Structure 1
Amino acid sequence: MQIKFLLPIVLSALFSLPAMAADYYVEITNKTGYIINYMHVSPGNKKSWEDDVLGNDVMVNGETQRVTLKGYSSPIFDIRLTDEDGDTYTFWDVNVHEYDLVVSEDDLD
């Protein structure tokens, strides 16, 4: 008899849990012909850019950089790269679970 009363409570508790955080990664290849000085990756629903993931490093032409994204509830991210001339390459709503990026001059903002 107690199971009949507990089952709805347990089920409602399970369905009310927040979305579980997951780890993702995206591989970004620089085919711009320029050095990339800054790379910002932010959740797709965020209104501002997160910190530069390159830090003190740069990404030379032809290089591929893997960016690990930990603790996010969605695989959708916005990605912006800035090259040595200050030109930007912006990608909106990238599903990093399905796609990696190859960035070329054709992607210039």
Structure 2
Amino acid sequence: MKIKLILAFLLSLFISNSALAADYYVDITNNTGYTIYYIYISPEKSTSWEEDVLGDEVLPNNETRRVTITGYKSPMFDIHLIDEDDDTYTFWGVDVSKQDLVVTLDDLD
């Protein structure tokens, strides 16, 4: 009986933690005049950038790319982009549940 109770408790704990994780997306529009080669998205306040979400692709000027972000508990992310000239654009604390990004030269780091 005790083992069943413990297993039920552990299962409910696992399910409740899983239920808190969500899938998000952000539409990123490149209006910089340059091709974006890298887009890094990490949870807000992370100490490092995660993988490049573009992979082998690029984001040409005047195009939009939807990036799906899965398995996170919070919609708050930091987003870092690098263009063909190695110029960088960093957005801190983006709430992707409420905001998409339009990147322009005004956003240069």
Identity %: 61
SS of the counterpart of 2:106? Answer: helix
Count matched residues.
96
Residue matched to 2:6: none
Deviation at 1:48, TM superposition (A): 0.3
Greater Cα radius of gyration, structure 1 or 2: 1
- Higher helix content, 1 or 2: 2
Deviation at 1:45, TM superposition (A): 2.7
Measure, in 1, the Cα distance between the counterparts of 2:64 and 2:104: 13
Q: Which runs of 4+ in 1 moved over 3 A?
A: none
What is the RMSD computed on CA atoms of the aligned residues? 1.6
TM-score by length of 1: 0.83
The one-letter code matched in structure 2 to 1:29 is T
Measure, in 2, the Cα distance between the counterparts of 1:58 and 1:103: 14
TM-score by length of 2: 0.83
Measure, in 2, the Cα distance between the counterparts of 1:66 and 1:33: 19
* Structure 1, gaps ≥5 residues long: 1-9
Residue matched to 2:75: 75
SS of the counterpart of 1:106? Answer: helix
Matches within 5 A, 1:48-67: 48-67=48-67
Residue matched to 2:36: 36
SS of the counterpart of 2:20? Answer: coil
Matches within 5 A, 1:1-109: 17-18=16-17, 20-109=20-109
SS of the counterpart of 2:57? Answer: coil
